[in-house]
Every structure is written in C-alpha cells, then in structure tokens.
C-alpha cells in the first residue's frame, strides 16, 4: 500500500502540527535569554521584525499551497518550480532541518524530564530518556496521525496556558504598567536589531510543516495555507508578549536575563509562586515531546515522498495497510534521531559538555536546513507561476524581497564568526548538501529515464490542482 490515510487532518490538526514544530514553549523557556543577550531591552521588537521577515517567506510558500498539494509538499513545490535538481536539494534541506530540530526537542525533553525526576530524587541516564521520548513519538505517529497531532496540540496548549498564567502574575505585580525602557532605541543599533532578527527567524522556523501533509489534509488547498499564516501570527504574538514580560519581570534581578538557564522558574520564585515551578517544568517537558513528535511526522513524510522518487529504498514510500501512516519512513527517522542524539551526547560528555549544549547545537544545525529550504521555495515560486500562466509583477517582487530577507539569517549565521564548535557547523551542512548533490547527479547518470518520469509525474500532479 502506497497511499496515506486521506481526509483525516482538518485545520485544527494542521495548525497544531505547525505550532508544535515552532514550539512556543522552547522560546519562552530557553531562547528569550539568548535574544536578550543579543538585543537587550528591545528584544520584543526583534521578534516583531523577525516575524515580518518570515511573513514574506510564508506568502511565497502559499503561492504553492493554495494551488497544489501532495505529501512532502515543500519538496514537491520546489521540484515543480526549479526542476529535479532544485527540488531534490530542497528535500535534503528539509530532512536535515527536521532531523536536528527534532533532536532539539528530544534534548529539551530530556533536560526538563531530568529536572522533574530530580525533584522526586530519581536519576535517569539521558540516553534512557532519549529512547523513551523517541520511542513514544514513533508509536503514536505509527498508530494514527490524527491522534498524534491532537496530542501535540494538547501538550503545547497545556504548557502555554501556565506560561501565560505566570506572565499575568508578573504583569499584575507591576500593576500592568508599561515598561518605558523597552520602547527606546537608546544604546542599541540596527546591527543588534538585525542580529536579534536572526534569532527570531530561527525561533519561528517550522510554520511550514503542515505542507508535508497534503495527502492527509481535508480541503488542503484551503486548510494548509490558512494553517501556515495563522501559526506564524499566533506564535509571533506569543513571542513578542512573553519576551516583553520576561524582560520586565527580571529587571533588577541579581542575575541578568541572559545568564538565566531557567527564566520561567526564576520568575515563579521572584513573584511568590514557586509552586508553579514543577508545573512549568512539566509543561516544558511535554512541549519538547510535541516538538520531537512533529519533526518526526514531517520528516517522515518528506522521506516518504522522496522514496517514491527512488532517493531512498522503495519501502520508505510504503504506507501501513491499516493505519495509513508512512511506518517505514517513521522508523527510519526514529532510528536516525536516536543514533545521532546518542552519539553526539557521548562526544559532548567526553569533552566536558552537557545535554543543554547538545540542545543549542541541534537547534543551530537545524536552522541551516530551514533557511536553505525557504530560500529555494522563494526562488521557485515565480517559475511555478510562470508555468501555470499566472505570473504577475507582484509575484516577482515578492520573490526578490523574500530572497533578500533570507540573506539576513544566512549572513547572520556565519558573521560575526561564532566560537568553536559552532563555526564548523556551516561546513558540515555544506558537506551534507554535497552528498545530496552527488545523489542527484548519480540519479541523472544511472537512471535518466526515471528522472524524466519523476519530472513528468511532478508536473502533472502540480498542474492538475487548481485554486
């Protein structure tokens, strides 16, 4: 059986998939201090600017999403616009992105699970927690994608609810007064604001993941584009609000916000609600579980689509006869995620580092894949529309703006040159892309007839769909 379960995901489940992959809790719990260290008191503005920049990518993406759909859609989108080579590289970028952001979810789950277990005087080795997280994600995703997405929605909603409760306690303590220090540009610069926008863009990646569920969505040409935009709007608003609250709430604390490794727990103690600490830690733990689950689901569907085109063994394109899930691709993703997170942990421990370092490194690595895929999608949109006879001047303008804006995170990730080992990460990503390029070249040389077939299949598929 090569058909996924059709018409099983409505707008709510697609929105849940996107929000879970963006992971608002991750930003509130671990990324806001990084943002504050970069841009200081105007951190909320950096999130607003970053969201505005990402919106142009989302609009480019929706040029495809409202006209055509398939499993692993962004891979198919890029191929329909840029041809076999460009589409393939986009697919490789997405696999890299979902793998490493999934590892950020796995390590984040482990960090907060360890915190909760220590409260109960229980010690568990990180590798055991890696296995529990990824094994559970696989089992749920294997059984039913609808249940999997609803679980991620429930877990993220649980976490964000208590974060918002804490936020309003903090604001109430300040009598809901406006913090004037956060509305002045004194002491900052456009360069700092730009660097903050890079952090914001990396926080927002994942808004596109619902496009991978084209074969499983209800009315995909309507629900998928809506889920892309609304997930971006909702999470950006949450980031702006919670960043403002954390900056205001920690002002005057003995430890500055950028030096805090658990700002939410610190705020709970500072504002007289320490009993929220275990709830907040539990919320963060389940949110990171949802992140790992959503990455496994999205990555498996990209692999499923690429398996149909012979980039991977044919069985990766099989769907389970009963559950209608890409069970083989899910298993490959689960095994790959566990292998990489475990080997990386062993290496870091040997060099005196910890799971938190692995979380930071995984997020940085995954961001390269998203930036590559977004850039290719923005470039592919005008070519796709031209083939359909729908290209207009505003579409070209949108492409130019989106491509120009993508230069901000591309340049910001390599300059100023980061400290080791992060300075080596771009080289690792480029080496991986060369592997993908060689795979494409090998396909064109060894199976030229199959390459022509794939091009024809993709063109027919995406030409057939209409708004």
Given pLDDT bands bounded at 50, 70 and 90, which one contains residue 462? low
Instruction: Choose the most confident range, by mean pLDDT, from 142-151, 161-170, 203-212.
Output: 161-170
CB of 137 within 8 A of CB of 289? yes
User: What mean pLDDT is predicted for residues 244-263?
Assistant: 92
The owner of tokens 């984040």 is 108
- Residue of 398, 363, 443, 80 lying closest to 203 (CA atoms): 363
Contacts of 178 (CB under 8 A, 6+ apart): none
Helix axes 11-22, 276-308, angle to 10 degrees: 110
- Residue of 160, 113, 117, 159 lying closest to 133 (CA atoms): 113
Cα torsion angle, 312, 318, 324, 327, sign: negative
Given pLDDT bands bounded at 50, 70 and 90, which one contains residue 64? very high
Instruction: Judge whether residue 48 has pLDDT over 60.
Output: yes
Listed range (52-56, 104-108, 124-128, 453-457) with the worst mean pLDDT: 453-457
Cα torsion angle, 348, 353, 359, 360, sign: negative
User: What mean pLDDT is predicted for residues 72-91?
Assistant: 90
Whole-number Å distance between alpha carbons of 147 and 143: 8
Alpha helix positions (H), 310-354: 327-350
Computed over its alpha carbons, how large is the radius of gyration of the chain? 22
pTM comes to 0.92
- Enter the DSSP assignment of 424: G
- At 222 the pLDDT is 95
The domain at 11-461 falls in which architecture?
A: Up-down Bundle (1.20)
Contacts of 360 (CB under 8 A, 6+ apart): none
Whole-number Å distance between alpha carbons of 217 and 9: 5
CB of 18 within 8 A of CB of 207? yes
- At 409 the pLDDT is 84
- Residue of 180, 191, 193 lying closest to 247 (CA atoms): 180
Whole-number Å distance between alpha carbons of 167 and 436: 45
Whole-number Å distance between alpha carbons of 374 and 77: 11
- Residue of 314, 319, 344 lying closest to 330 (CA atoms): 319
Over pLDDT 70: what percentage of the chain? Answer: 98
The owner of tokens 């008191």 is 41
CB of 142 within 8 A of CB of 297? no
Per-residue pLDDT tens over the stretch 83-124: 999 999 999 999 999 999 999 999 999 999 998 999 889 999
CB of 94 within 8 A of CB of 326? no
Length of the chain: 467
- Residue of 149, 307, 116 lying closest to 218 (CA atoms): 149
CB of 305 within 8 A of CB of 329? no
Mean pLDDT estimate for the chain: 91
CB of 414 within 8 A of CB of 367? no
Instruction: Judge whether residue 255 has pLDDT over 80.
Output: yes
Greater model confidence, 361 or 467: 361
Longest dimension (CA), the chain: 70
Structure tokens, 35: 């943002």
Per-residue pLDDT tens over the stretch 347-386: 888 777 788 889 989 988 998 999 999 999 999 999 999 9
């Amino acid at each position: 059986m090569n058909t996924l379960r059709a018409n099983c995901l409505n707008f709510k489940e697609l929105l849940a998939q996107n929000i879970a992959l963006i992971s608002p809790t991750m930003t509130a719990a671990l990324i806001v201090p990084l943002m504050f260290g970069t841009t200081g008191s105007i951190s909320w503005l950096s999130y607003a600017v970053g969201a505005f920049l990402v919106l142009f990518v989302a609009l480019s993406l929706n040029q495809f999403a409202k006209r055509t759909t398939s499993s692993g859609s962004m891979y198919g989108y890029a191929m329909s616009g840029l041809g076999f080579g460009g589409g393939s590289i986009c697919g490789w970028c997405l696999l890299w992105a979902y793998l490493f952001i999934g590892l950020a979810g796995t390590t984040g789950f482990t960090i907060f699970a360890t915190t909760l277990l220590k409260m109960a005087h229980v010690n568990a080795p990180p590798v055991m927690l890696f296995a529990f997280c990824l094994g559970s994600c696989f089992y749920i995703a294997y059984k039913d994608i609808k249940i999997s997405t609803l679980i991620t929605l429930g877990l993220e909603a649980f976490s964000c609810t208590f974060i918002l409760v804490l936020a309003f306690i903090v604001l109430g303590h300040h009598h809901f007064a406006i913090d004037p220090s956060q509305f002045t540009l004194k002491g900052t610069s456009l360069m700092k604001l730009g660097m903050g926008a890079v952090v914001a863009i990396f926080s927002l990646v994942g808004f596109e993941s619902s496009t991978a569920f084209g074969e499983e969505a209800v009315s995909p040409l309507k629900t998928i584009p809506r889920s892309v935009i609304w997930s971006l709007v909702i999470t950006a608003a949450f980031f702006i609000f919670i960043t403002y609250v954390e900056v205001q709430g920690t002002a005057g604390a003995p430890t500055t916000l950028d030096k805090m490794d658990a700002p939410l727990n610190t705020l709970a103690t500072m504002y007289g609600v320490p009993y929220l600490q275990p709830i907040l830690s539990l919320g963060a733990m389940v949110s990171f579980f949802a992140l790992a689950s959503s990455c496994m689901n999205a990555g498996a569907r990209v692999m499923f689509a690429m398996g149909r085109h012979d980039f991977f063994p044919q069985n990766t394109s099989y769907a389970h006869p009963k559950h209608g899930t890409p069970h083989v691709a899910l298993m490959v993703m689960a095994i790959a995620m566990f292998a990489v997170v475990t080997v990386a942990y062993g290496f870091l421990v040997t060099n005196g580092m910890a799971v938190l370092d692995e979380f930071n490194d995984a997020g940085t690595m995954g961001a390269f894949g998203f930036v590559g895929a977004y850039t290719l999608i923005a470039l592919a949109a005008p070519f796709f529309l031209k083939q359909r006879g729908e290209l207009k001047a505003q579409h070209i303008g949108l492409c130019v703006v989106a491509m120009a804006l993508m230069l901000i995170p591309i340049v910001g990730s390599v300059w100023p040159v980061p400290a080791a080992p992060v300075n080596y990460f771009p080289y690792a990503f480029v080496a991986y892309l060369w592997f993908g390029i060689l795979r494409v070249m090998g396909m064109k040389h060894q199976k030229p007839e199959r390459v022509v077939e794939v091009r024809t299949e993709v063109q027919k598929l995406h030409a057939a769909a209409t708004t």
